[in-house]
Structure 1
Amino acid sequence: MPVDVDPETDPREIVLGMWRELAARNWSRVADHLSDDCIYFDVPYGPALSARGPADIVARLKVGLEPLAAYTNHDGVLVADGADVLYEHAETWEWSSGESVVLPFVTVHRVADGRITLWKDYWDATTLVSAAPAEWMTQLASADTDWLYDATDEFS
């Protein structure tokens, strides 16, 4: 990275910092990287199942990630164009029952004023669903959805 880049304002560093905290499942530090109006859009599930704001985004992430026995983020290609950052990476999800899966992702972020304002995850949900244990799927289906935000108008 060039010497004159400020890690507190450089969109690449902000995005990578958030991913480091997510890999550690350090929920409060993940929230610190998100703007108050940040939208998290899990593309396979559509904009109607989005989350908005740090607390709700973290609640949304916890639904899937908190019950895991282990979660690993594998760095990949990072491309930035001003405030827009694309991050190709993979995640390994492991359950205590022994199942595991590697999920390839492309994630799009927009950064403004040192915070992520948009987070869109592109991945194949079928890969996850076919690998996950039935108990986790049942837990997912009955999870609290108070975080739910319909972002359809933002993405139509």
Structure 2
Amino acid sequence: MSADTMTVQDVVLGLWQALSARDWDGVKAHLSDDCIYLDVPVGPAAAAKGPDDIVKRLKIGLEPLASYENFSGLMVDDGSNAMYEHHEEWHWATGESAVLKFVSVHRVVDGKVSLWKDYWDMSALANHAPPSWLEDFATADMSWVYDATGEV
């Protein structure tokens, strides 16, 4: 399927299928060069911009997991923007697990995601993650941080 024949929903679902498989190159292939990723609970001052930095950001949380999976839900779109209700299941090697409910908003331009905003309850993660989770995050490579204040 070419970018011309792909729907917004095809692009968004392709991105999430790649992310669920932790196929980092597949994730990058769905993002525009100037795509902004915003984890809304963290705020726009800690966004990521561009496929490489977005993947760096995603890997901080997802790469250390023993298993991770996205479960599809309702998606609505207006032809260029999609709202996607879904949930993720995170499992750590130490036995902890969390179910995280999301609404993700995506803008798709020319067959690529150009804006990605995740709305979710961070306490659902913090309440179920291993005690070292925040410490690990605090010592992670933060070179991806992009201040998107005023852009999103």
Partner of 2:113: 116
Partner of 1:91: 88
Partner of 1:9: 6
For 1:7 and 1:120, the matched residues in 2 are separated by 24
> Which residue, 117, 138, 154 being the options, matches 2:151?
154
Partner of 1:72: 69
**How many pairs are equivalent?**
151
For 1:83 and 1:74, the matched residues in 2 are separated by 22
> Which residue, 13, 18, 21 being the options, matches 2:18?
21
For 2:136 and 2:86, the matched residues in 1 are separated by 26
For 2:43 and 2:10, the matched residues in 1 are separated by 28
8 Å CA contact retained: 1:8, 1:14:
no
With the length of structure 2 as denominator, give the TM-score of the two structures.
0.96
For 1:135 and 1:42, the matched residues in 2 are separated by 21
Q: Equivalent pairs: percent with the same residue?
A: 55
1:54 aligns with 2:51: yes
* 1:141 Cα deviation after fit: 1.2
For 1:27 and 1:17, the matched residues in 2 are separated by 12
Higher helix fraction: Structure 1 or Structure 2?
1
Q: Which runs of 5+ in 2 are unaligned?
A: none
Cα distance change, pair 26–67 in 1 and its aligned pair in 2 (3 A):
same
Match of 1:45, SS?
A: coil
RMSD between aligned residues? 1.4
1:102 aligns with 2:99: yes
| Segments of 4+ moved more than 4 angstroms | none
Q: Which runs of 5+ in 1 are unaligned?
A: 1-5
* 1:27 Cα deviation after fit: 0.2
1:133 counterpart letter in structure 2:
P
For 1:92 and 1:8, the matched residues in 2 are separated by 31
1:45 aligns with 2:45: no
Match of 1:25, SS?
A: coil
Residues 5-28 of structure 1: CA deviation (Å, up to 9, x unaligned): x78531110000010000000001
